[in-house]
Amino acid sequence: MNIIRDKIQLSADVFQMVVEAPLIARERKAGQFIILQLDSTFAERIPLTIADADEIAGTITLIFQAVGGTTRKLALKNTGDSIENLLGPLGQPTHLQNFGRVVCVGGGIGVAPLHPIAQALKKVGNHVTVIMGARNKDLVILEKQMRAIADELILCTDDGSAGRKDLVTVPLKELCAGPNKPDFAVAIGPPIMMKFCAETTRPFGVSTVCSLNSIMVDGTGMCGGCRVTVGGEMRFVCVDGPEFDAHKVDFDNMMLRSKAFKAKEQADHECFIQEYGAKK
Amino acid sequence: MTNKERMAIPVQEMPAQDPLVRAKNMQEVALGYTAEQAQLESNRCLQCKTAPCISGCPVSIDIPRFLGLAAEGKFADALGVIREASLLPAICGRVCPQESQCQAPCTLGKSLKNPLLAVAIGRVERYVADNCSAELPLPTIKPETGKSVAVIGSGPASIAAAADLRQNGHAVTIFEAFHKPGGVLVYGIPEFRLPKAIVDREIDTLRQIGVKIETNFLVGRTRKLKDLLTQDNYDAIFVGTGAGLPKFMKIEGENLVGVFSANEYLTRCNLMKAYDDGRASTPIYRSKKVAVLGGGNVAMDAARSALRLGAEEVSIVYRRSLEEMPARQEEVHHAQEEGIHFRTLTNAQKILGDDQGRVKAVETLTYTLGEKDASGRRSPVAVEGSEAILEVDTVIVAIGNDSNPLLRQTTPELSVDKRGNFLVDENGLTSMPRVWAGGDIVLGAATVILAMGQGRKAAASIHRFLAG
Ligand SMILES: Cc1cc2nc3c(=O)[nH]c(=O)nc-3n(C[C@H](O)[C@H](O)[C@H](O)COP(=O)(O)OP(=O)(O)OC[C@H]3O[C@@H](n4cnc5c(N)ncnc54)[C@H](O)[C@@H]3O)c2cc1C
Ligand SMILES: Cc1cc2nc3c(=O)[nH]c(=O)nc-3n(C[C@H](O)[C@H](O)[C@H](O)COP(=O)(O)OP(=O)(O)OC[C@H]3O[C@@H](n4cnc5c(N)ncnc54)[C@H](O)[C@@H]3O)c2cc1C
Ligand code: SF4
Ligand code: SF4
Ligand code: FES
């Protein structure tokens, strides 16, 4: 049992929860994630990045977007409620190094997993530029926290309601082409965004890492459901990743595989609406 | 009764659900003997002085003694005899490959020239375990020793080790990565072959005798193996983490949508109960035509699960012949009865997809059997130009498992062989002081009873170490 200590709504459908998990808080490193399950009998297991942790309080912070059955049910939970199963920390920690200039690109909910990585990269001495994008100003999350870390922050929205009216790849390209070309890039967001970030940095030879969010079951390397093709080889996101060289990832295949269970997800979603009404 | 009379008793067939009915439900296929059948079957045992059957059982159950008692109707006493050697008779009676273990050397089977006509040892074992377990008292626990042991994983190897160690008075904590204990018994072997209530009962017994079980705990990540010894003060560790790394064929198209490892398919179906469509949240693929690649127990389980999930046509694609299939004969037979197609001497060489990236067919090649290879089986040889197309919407890869690399990657002190299996001495001790291992992590994918046997052997060695 993992008690929810705090819950904040960050945007229309993005929530932040602080959850009791002392063992995970102690061991976790930037880039790692947990798998949670709301009950042991019929619930599914879903992965979420550890956005932050407090070793002394014994808590971890999760930031998630309510997109389907499980995340919506999670969003209904309140401070004092608990999450039945929480496994972690999973995955390989981020490789940290002083590269010099790094650019961290986050799209949508991808800003949540990007935050601890940007923080860690800053801590080891990098000059950090953050580019963060959202569809509109109401969907921008963690701006304040990111400003606190970043040496420079570029905000983009699709409709121009906050920051620049651009896709994140536009400022990314400017940076790469400019006088302060980054030595290293991290891109986290929807697969399509990561794919285009990879295509943007590739011609400039800027080594780029992305964090993949394939569908998972166990998170321990046992099922192979999270497999992706990287550099022509089969890799398991939960144990070999979640971070990979973005220039080598087969994003097209990954996007197809993410839609494998569309029908059931849709049905669950409708079921949820019936049960709880259309309210968020 | 004379031996002649005993031999005249026909082998008692196992009552089973009708194949057409059971192919559409998740309930257990084999229904279990009646008391009369159990007694009759036990009377077939010739009580051989040399008892060759015992040597066929990896944990050396005193088979003639338990069958003798069962033949007199003393079922609870019979169970007592089994319990001296095996802790999981309700499970082993169901899933042991008896025809290649205890029943292989059985005198009766030899004289009838068929191990399937040997005394049906496992079926009687199952009967007494199912019907008499409640009558036996909980195992007694020796006085507390003040020593503590961490047991990693909760499959049969760990269950056996934990039970023996606890009975010797040591404090035992099991650490399991999943949210439910039981290992392959809960996430792999399907409900229709091994009801989960039976596994739960064994786990409950462990809890009742005071074994602590920590689920959602991945050793190597939640805590390093070494930290359990140096910081958490466990005196010894038993590692029973199994062979949980699915092998793939390394053929074109394996990452298409609709291709699953058997582990994923079975975990979704069993552990996550995806078959219970109305209630389970975990999705499973709705398939019409399924190809299962492989010929072991895992392949049979995946194929029969797919059928129960509503597939119209399920094929086993296996590159040798029925004779070489590693699956238990009973499972092959059950699968055939249920209407699974066996495409033997056939191998997949490519998986084809549609423009949506979904599986639409498997390209196969026909094989013939050539010379015997190192494993003693005749090796399959591809027939040139025999390409054929098998239209399917789902492919399940069930060609086996390697050992999971997580623990060895996070514990450099552990020596492993080239396949990643832990190297241990004759007592199960690894290259790391105070750390023992057993089961599939040592043997590679093996059997429940072998895993259990290794757990017990390691537990005995750990006990000697802690007492010494
Ligand atoms: C390593 C990793 C870290 C992640 N971190 C975050 C995070 O910090 N915040 C956040 O909001 N989201 C994160 N995600 C994505 C999150 O896991 C999915 O949004 C969630 O599983 C959706 O579940 P659902 O039942 O609510 O929605 P569904 O309607 O079931 O699914 C919506 C979409 O989410 C994906 N998805 C569904 N089930 C799973 C599953 N079991 N595993 C992975 N993806 C799945 C599918 O692509 C699907 O189309 C992460 C994913 C991975 C793999
Ligand atoms: C589908 C299928 C069908 C089978 N059918 C039969 C059959 O009919 N008859 C038969 O005799 N055998 C059968 N087998 C084989 C048999 O199940 C195995 O040989 C046996 O379960 C091995 O036991 P084990 O204790 O070594 O490990 P497992 O049963 O594999 O259990 C290992 C456990 O350790 C956990 N774990 C792994 N790593 C960690 C970690 N780092 N930290 C914490 N926990 C961890 C895993 O989650 C798992 O629960 C079958 C196997 C499969 C997959
Ligand atoms: S444990 Fe398995 S091998 Fe041993 S007697 Fe029982 S069924 Fe046979
Ligand atoms: S070998 Fe067969 S007949 Fe002989 S004692 Fe064993 S079970 Fe009985
Ligand atoms: S989630 Fe099962 S292997 Fe990665």
The pLDDT tens digits for B197-224 are 999 998 999 999 999 999 999 999 999 9
- Rounded Cα distance, A140 and A49, in Å: 18
Q: Minimal CA–CA distance to A175: which of A190, A157, A156, A189?
A: A156
Residue by residue, DSSP assigns B87-130 as: S-HHHHHHHS-GGGTTTSS-HHHHHTT-GGGS--HHHHHHHHHH
B236-239: strand order across its sheet: B212-214, B171-175, B148-152, B236-239, B435-437
Residue ranges in chain A whose pLDDT is less than 70? 268-269, 271-280
Which amino acid residue places its CA nearest to atom 1 of ligand 4?
B106
pLDDT tens-digit readout, A55-83: 999 999 999 999 888 999 999 999 999 99
Per-residue pLDDT tens over the stretch A230-268:
999 999 999 999 999 999 999 999 998 988 787 777 776
Q: What is the pLDDT of residues B252-286, one digit of tens each?
A: 999 999 999 999 999 999 889 888 878 888 888 88
Question: Do A123 and A143 form a contact (C-beta atoms < 8 A)?
Answer: no
Q: HSE, CB side, 13 Å, CA atoms: give it for residue B431.
A: 12
First to last CA, chain B: 50
The confidence score (pLDDT) of residue A277 equals 59
Cβ–Cβ contacts within 10 Å for residue B72, how many? 12
Kindly tell me the burial class for residue A190, based on how many C-beta atoms sit within 10 Å of its own C-beta (0-12, 13-18, 19 or more): middle
For ligand 4, whether the C-beta of B102 sits within 6 Å is: no
- Tell me the torsion sign for CA atoms A177, A183, A189, A190: positive
Name, in order, each residue with C-beta under 8 angstroms of A56's C-beta and a sequence gap of 6 or more: none
Q: CA-based Rg of chain A, rounded to a whole angstrom?
A: 18
Q: pLDDT per residue over B111-120, tens digit each? A: 998 888 999 9
Percent of chain B with pLDDT over 70: 100
User: In angstroms, rounded to a whole number, what is the distance separating the alpha carbons of residues A154 and B340?
Assistant: 59
Q: With an 8 Å Cβ cutoff, are B257 and A260 in contact?
A: yes
- Within 6 A (CB) of ligand 1 lie A 33, 44-49, 63-65, 67-71, 109, 112-113, 213-216, 242, 258, 265, 269
A71 touching B (Cβ < 8 Å)? no
Per residue in B20-43, pLDDT tens? 999 999 999 999 999 999 999 999
Report the residue from B250, B254, B279 with minimal CB separation from A42.
B279
Residue to mutate, B55, B86, B99, B101, ligand 3, most ligand atoms under 8 Å from C-beta: B101
Per the model's pLDDT, the better-predicted residue between B278 and B335 turns out to be B335
pLDDT digits (tens, 9 = 90+) for B306-331: 999 999 999 999 999 998 899 988 89
Segment among B50-59, B138-147, B365-374 with least mean pLDDT: B365-374
| Distance of alpha carbon A265 from the chain centroid | 20
Cis ω before A89 (30° cut-off from 0)? yes
Closest residue in B to A262 (Cα) is B283
Mean predicted confidence (pLDDT) in B288-302: 96
The tokens for B398 are 């069930």
pLDDT tens by residue, B387-444: 999 999 999 999 999 888 899 989 999 999 988 999 999 999 999 999 999 999 999 8
Cβ-contact A19, A5 below 8 angstroms? yes
pLDDT band of residue B1 (cuts 50, 70, 90) is confident
Q: How far is the CA of B161 from the centre of ligand 4 (A)?
A: 29
- B100-118 per-residue burial string, b: 16 or more CB within 10 A, e: under 16: ebbbbbbbbbeeeeebebb
pTM for the full model?
A: 0.93
Query: How many angstroms away from the CA of B66 is the closest CA of chain A?
Result: 38
What confidence score (pLDDT) does residue A279 get?
44
pLDDT over threshold 60, residue B18: yes
Nearest to A223 among B263, B283, B405 (CB): B263
Q: Distance, CA B460 to ligand 2 centroid (Å)?
A: 21
A-chain CB neighbours of B310 within 8 Å are none
Tokens 């196969």 locate to B364
Whose CA is closest to B241, among B457, B454, B26?
Answer: B454
Q: What are the structural domains, with CATH classification, of chain B? A: 3-135 (1.10.1060.10), 148-244+402-467 (3.50.50.60), 248-399 (3.50.50.60)
Which of B250, B267, B279 is closest, CB to CB, to A218? Answer: B267
Structure confidence at residue A273 (pLDDT): 65
Name the residue of chain B whose CA is nearest to A227's CA: B255
